Structure 1
Amino acid sequence: MSHRAKYTPGPAAGARIQKEAEKWTLVLVRDLPHPPAKVWKALTEPEHLREWAPFDADRSLGAVGTAKLSTVGTPTPLVSETQVKRADAQKALEYRWGGNDMRWELEPLGGSGTRLTLWHNIARGYIAMGAAGWHICFDVLDQLLAGQPIGRIVGPEAMKFDGWQRLNAEYAQQFGVETHGLTSGPRT
């Protein structure tokens, strides 16, 4: 059985929401047993993003300036131009994706680990789905950094993946929001 076939996401954890007026922000925190330099490469370099992220980049995101991000797993290619607004190597990265602001922060942990925090503005109706999707992306990222890549699991493929429906429901319950019409079976 392949490493990917054995993968099952853990329980919904490490996420919260912030609301300012009508703006909703998903905040995800994950402690990774990998040094900031290695995590930074995975967040910024196209060949690493291709292994775990829900989009491809046409250049390194490790420098301020224009880049094109192509959403993966959509029926038709969805390419958006973005501005990398902040790129402080191994510390912080900010850009927009799909019209939403994203901010990544890397904080060294004791030993050689990194606390990775993502702030992602997202519509309220999709916030549990976003948390479930990023949860799986972070798991895939952790496996990649550990030298045991299982391949990107994003978009419609992620929604069919064992554990996604459960994560979506768990995050919706944690956040006090409805799941967005993609659950299996009737809602009770």
Structure 2
Amino acid sequence: MTMQATETRAVIVERDICHPPEKLWRALTQPHLIEEWLMKNDFKPVVGHSFNLRGDWGGVLDCKVLAIEPNKTLSYTWNFAHEDAAFNLESVVTFTLTPTRTGTHLRVEQTGFQPNQKQAYGGAHAGWKQFFDKLDQVVARTE
């Protein structure tokens, strides 16, 4: 099978977090908590809701909720328009929560990286690990 130019790559980061899915779900879907670990936002947990994620670096991501299954799955578009087309990103982020004996197995998959977007791909890989570190701290201190 030959590789097509349209073939995209995915970043997958997984972590076991010692809190139940319900607690983690709140941090993934409540705007004030999302802001603490990810970015400023106007998120609503409603399929079809369009929202922005605003980074400290001044960038704005255009997002739209694609799927919600409470305490299990959350999926939304994660699109970034840049004046340099090489940095444009049209991707989808999907969080999957699986209960474990000790808490929750959290998996994030971000799909849609073009083969030439090595910098964005690497940045996303490092970024999700940092986001998960913050998420862990936010969940630990919320009741």
User: Under a length normalisation based on structure 2, what TM-score does the superposition of the two structures give?
Assistant: 0.78
Task: Give the direction of change, closer, same or farther, for the CA distance of 1:79–1:30 in structure 2 (3 Å limit).
Answer: closer
1:41 pairs, out of 11, 26, 29, with 26
Give every structure 1 segment of 4 or more consecutive aligned residues whose post-TM-superposition deviation is greater than 6 Å. Answer: none
Is the 2:93–2:108 contact (alpha carbons within 8 Å) kept by the matching residues of 1? yes
| Counterpart-to-counterpart distance in 1, 2:12 and 2:109 | 5
- Report the equivalent of 1:164: none
The alignment-based identity, stated in percent, is 29
User: Would you say 1:72 and 2:67 are equivalent positions?
Assistant: no
- Report the equivalent of 2:10: 25
Matches within 5 A, 1:134-149: 134-147=128-141
Is the 1:96–1:102 contact (alpha carbons within 8 Å) kept by the matching residues of 2? yes
| Counterpart-to-counterpart distance in 2, 1:129 and 1:110 | 32
Residue ranges of structure 1 left out of the alignment (5+ in a row) = 1-19, 149-188
- Report the equivalent of 1:87: 68
Match of 1:131, SS state, is helix
User: Would you say 1:59 and 2:43 are equivalent positions?
Assistant: yes
Q: Which has a greater percent of strand?
A: 2
Query: Max radius of gyration: which structure?
Result: 1
- The count of aligned residue pairs is 124
Is the 2:25–2:70 contact (alpha carbons within 8 Å) kept by the matching residues of 1? yes
User: What amino acid maps onto 2:56 in structure 1?
Assistant: G
Q: Which moved more, 1:95-104 or 1:139-148?
A: 139-148
- Kindly report the root-mean-square deviation, in angstroms, between the aligned alpha carbons of the 2 structures: 2.0
User: Would you say 1:118 and 2:108 are equivalent positions?
Assistant: yes
Higher relative contact order (CA 8 A, sep 6+): 2
Is the 2:27–2:34 contact (alpha carbons within 8 Å) kept by the matching residues of 1? yes
| Counterpart-to-counterpart distance in 2, 1:129 and 1:97 | 14
Is the 1:57–1:67 contact (alpha carbons within 8 Å) kept by the matching residues of 2? no
State the Cα distance separating 1:105 from its structure 2 match: 0.3
Residue ranges of structure 2 left out of the alignment (5+ in a row) = 80-89
User: What amino acid maps onto 2:120 in structure 1?
Assistant: Y
